[in-house]
Structure 1
Amino acid sequence: MKRIIILLVTVCLLLPKAKAGSANYNFLEQEQLPVSDTTVEDEKKEDALIEEVVKTKTIPGKDKAEYFSQVTRYGFKNLFSKYSYNPSLSYSSQVNPSATGFIQDYMKSHGNYLTKMKGWGQPYFNLIEGILMQYGLPRELKYIAVIESNLSTGATSYKGAGGPWQFMPYTARDYGLVVNGYYDERRDYFKSTHAASRYLLSLYKQLHDWLLVMAAYNGGPGRVYSAIKKSGSRNFWQLQYYLPEESRTYVKRFIATHYIMEGGGGITTMTNQNPGMQIDAGGGANPFDTKPQLTPEELKTTATQTISGKYNSLIIAKNLTMDIIQFNHFNPDFDNMMANNGNYDLRLPQDKMQVFLVNKYTILNECVQVLLADDNISSNQTFYPEVKTTKPAKKKKAK
């Protein structure tokens, strides 16, 4: 009996030590977590900086952009296991398992179209990424423009939303765009992407989760808050069925689009060498190797100029008032070949070539700004239709 009592006393004395050891182990585990996790971030500072950017409608300085890039990356904590996508690892090992079923179904119906978009959409993706980086936002957000408009500036919804980011007129004005009877800056890729960046920052300030931000982008923050209240959770996968079907499908469309663009060796974030591309003996990229389909009449009126530098096809086309499809018709695979080889035999109609040569260095400077995401993109090259004015009718003199 005495032995049993002694044994019980010994166990009771050792039990607190065991608990203390367990607590110490948990503490060590916590020490290994990232110091800058969202649980320890000063959200008041973060929110104040975002509010300043949104109110002033200005591009944040480098220090603020770097700060935003650190705090906003954790917004994908409910999608990617390591907060952001790592292209060197398999996609299935990183993405939330709850998304895999929808991805497979979406690929069957939209995979071919989105795969083609990897090529022709490259200049758009480059441009959007450059602006998102200026605001310290994740590059993945560029796929919102794919879901909204298929990257089309002419897209218009039956509700009146317009442009690549599908802004309603009142929202566009709130975030710095001009929308009236003469101008519609929702159609301007540069200005609308800046406005979209500010709007996305504003939504992130409220929700601190990119999947919830996308649901709010589609259906409004009010519906997301309602779903949070009803579900008791801020995790998209737990509250999704309290959202309207359109909003939860919208979020999954983003995930599936990202998978199709990136998971299968996408080229929208990092440029890969095209194995079928040939280089001429002098080391320059030869656009004829990609077989442009030019008519004999087009060839007669086409001028060629070898260029080098960090040129972007979308910015060249904008400054020459050329449609990007027309530019790509004359200069197929321009962005990939410039990125891989550093030079290109630019082909343009003769009148457009004259304009390019006159503005060559201004255009290059604008392209470099986008690439470095350093300064505001010059807006003085945006072309608008002329405002038509009518002269008042002359009054007839009384006889």
Structure 2
Amino acid sequence: MNRFLSIAVVSLLMFFTSAGKTWALPDNKNLHHAVRDTMVEDIATEDATIDEIIQARENQKVKKEKIAYISQVTQYGFKNLFSPTGYNTALPYSTQINPNAISFTQDYMRVHGNYLQKMKGWGQPYFNLIENILQQYGLPKELKYIAVIESNLSTDATSPVGAGGPWQFMPYTAKNFGLTVNSFVDDRRDYYKSTHAASKYLLSLYKEMHDWLLVMAAYNGGPGRVYNAIKKSGSRDFWQLQYYLPEESRTYVKRFIATQYIMEGSNNIDGSGDIAAFDEAMSRTTYGLSPTKNPYNTKPKLSAQQLVDVEVLPISGKYNSLVIAKNLSMDITTFNNYNPGFDQAMSTIGNFDLRLPPEKMQLFTANKYQILNECVQVLYNSTSIPSPTKTVYKRSAKKRA
């Protein structure tokens, strides 16, 4: 089911009266259940599509629209691996690396940077093959770097515990995903077959975790250890639960981020992968600022009269400035003048003191749950902000005495 269509239907049923003349503020409990049920339905659709892709035989072709659908879903989850706001090709790579992985990436580049830069040349035929297969399963092409971390792209790689091939499959996992492993044949060493198996395995892990950070940890240490860390920490945020994981697993995620940065991002600095250039670039980014220069300690750019009239409301959640401005019929520049650094603060620290004129604050307060729902849907679908004509909320009518 189309996500935005489902939300629109729910919104119409809940907010538009039977007479068709007025809008009414919904009951918060009912809205919560409607949003939750819609999200559950979306997850169920994803899971069913993933199962169909995994179970399809080599001579069966899954419909292109289903592959495209899963590709859109997995790209969203993949973006969480790097910048909190998602990767933007128009911005320097150094400004988009996940802030929690900066220090690790600096150290990793010093040790492995030159070798990985050389691999970009001799490894290109392998990368082309892997990318082609990953995309057949709707997976982000950047997952090819798992094979770099696991084996340095070597088919002969064998771990001390018996994992083998470029994707370092254990025999029982390889067999579960259709590979033959015996005394005569070892499909783990076959690039084509093992990459198909790895794609299915990654999809199955994504179906369980719905977050690439957790998928990476599970690929390294197994899903059981990830679930145990979730239980102990009470969180599904990798950066919150990482220290409940084995050191190897939490380091694995950061190794992937660092490898991806070195292999693709360094050319956006100086083309050499030089750590000095990386350090200099990071010093110019928001995340490279010293603790005394808090990037979120910003003041609104308002006139004296606007400062007198402004109302402040602490909020938290996946709010998006463009969605809020659209639904309040507010110019985005004006919104940013009231709330500088809004999106960055919300994506990184998760809360913000929202500032609005009184009439706009009244409209936001009356419709904040609907607005939050739309923000979540936009983030979840990784799409552009819908047209203002699609969702415009009206202020609820005041009760007469």
TM-score bracket, normalised by the shorter chain, equals: 0.5 to 0.7
**Match of 1:50?**
50
Q: CA deviation at 1:178?
A: 1.0
Q: Is the 8 A contact 1:54 1:198 kept in 2?
A: yes
Distance, in Å, in 1 between the alignment partners of 2:85 and 2:186 is 36
The answer as to 2:242 corresponding to 1:225 is no
Which amino acid letter does the alignment assign opposite residue 93 of structure 1? T
The verdict on how the C-alpha distance between 1:87 and 1:261 changes in structure 2, with shifts beyond 3 A counting, is farther
The answer as to 2:254 corresponding to 1:252 is yes
**Match of 1:12?**
none
Q: Which of 203, 215, 218 pairs up with 1:216?
A: 218
Q: Is the 8 A contact 1:179 1:185 kept in 2?
A: yes
Matches within 5 A, 1:186-205: 186-205=188-207
**Match of 2:316?**
none
The answer as to 2:143 corresponding to 1:135 is no
Which amino acid letter does the alignment assign opposite residue 176 of structure 1? G
Matches within 5 A, 1:297-308: none
The secondary structure found in structure 2 opposite 1:156 is coil
Q: Is the 8 A contact 2:133 2:196 kept in 1?
A: yes
Q: Is the 8 A contact 2:56 2:62 kept in 1?
A: no
Distance, in Å, in 2 between the alignment partners of 1:82 and 1:147 is 23
Distance, in Å, in 1 between the alignment partners of 2:85 and 2:39 is 14
Greater CA drift, 144-153 or 67-76: 67-76
- 5+ residue gaps in structure 2? 1-24, 26-37, 269-401
Q: Is the 8 A contact 2:80 2:86 kept in 1?
A: no
Which amino acid letter does the alignment assign opposite residue 257 of structure 1? T
The secondary structure found in structure 1 opposite 2:172 is helix
Q: Is the 8 A contact 2:74 2:140 kept in 1?
A: yes
Q: Is the 8 A contact 1:57 1:176 kept in 2?
A: no
The secondary structure found in structure 2 opposite 1:92 is helix
Distance, in Å, in 2 between the alignment partners of 1:126 and 1:87 is 21
RMSD after superposition: 2.4
**Match of 1:113?**
115
Distance, in Å, in 2 between the alignment partners of 1:39 and 1:81 is 24
Q: CA deviation at 1:83?
A: 6.5
Distance, in Å, in 1 between the alignment partners of 2:149 and 2:62 is 27
Q: Is the 8 A contact 2:177 2:200 kept in 1?
A: yes
Which amino acid letter does the alignment assign opposite residue 193 of structure 1? T
Distance, in Å, in 2 between the alignment partners of 1:98 and 1:180 is 42
The verdict on how the C-alpha distance between 1:108 and 1:88 changes in structure 2, with shifts beyond 3 A counting, is same
Q: What percentage of aligned pairs have identical amino acids?
A: 74
Q: CA deviation at 1:159?
A: 0.8
Q: CA deviation at 1:128?
A: 0.5
Moved beyond 4 Å, runs of 4+: 38-41
Q: CA deviation at 1:88?
A: 3.5
Matches within 5 A, 1:316-331: none
The answer as to 2:158 corresponding to 1:153 is no
Q: In terms of Rg, which structure is larger?
A: 1
Q: CA deviation at 1:172?
A: 0.6
**Match of 2:356?**
none
The secondary structure found in structure 2 opposite 1:42 is helix
- Show CA shifts across 1:203-261 (max 9, x none): 00000011110100000000000111111111111111110000000110000000000
Which amino acid letter does the alignment assign opposite residue 45 of structure 1? T
Q: Is the 8 A contact 1:47 1:205 kept in 2?
A: yes
The secondary structure found in structure 2 opposite 1:182 is coil
Distance, in Å, in 2 between the alignment partners of 1:173 and 1:72 is 25
The verdict on how the C-alpha distance between 1:77 and 1:120 changes in structure 2, with shifts beyond 3 A counting, is closer
Which amino acid letter does the alignment assign opposite residue 48 of structure 1? A
Distance, in Å, in 2 between the alignment partners of 1:41 and 1:117 is 43
The secondary structure found in structure 1 opposite 2:93 is coil
Distance, in Å, in 2 between the alignment partners of 1:214 and 1:165 is 13
Matches within 5 A, 1:1-399: 42-58=42-58, 60-81=62-83, 84-265=86-267
Q: CA deviation at 1:140?
A: 1.2
Q: CA deviation at 1:39?
A: 5.3
Greater CA drift, 83-92 or 133-142: 83-92
Distance, in Å, in 1 between the alignment partners of 2:85 and 2:149 is 22
Distance, in Å, in 2 between the alignment partners of 1:108 and 1:98 is 18
Q: TM-score, normalised by structure 1?
A: 0.55
- Show CA shifts across 1:32-72 (max 9, x none): xxxxxx95871101111212232344463312210110111
Distance, in Å, in 1 between the alignment partners of 2:262 and 2:184 is 38
Q: TM-score, normalised by structure 2?
A: 0.55
Aligned length: 233
Distance, in Å, in 1 between the alignment partners of 2:39 and 2:243 is 26
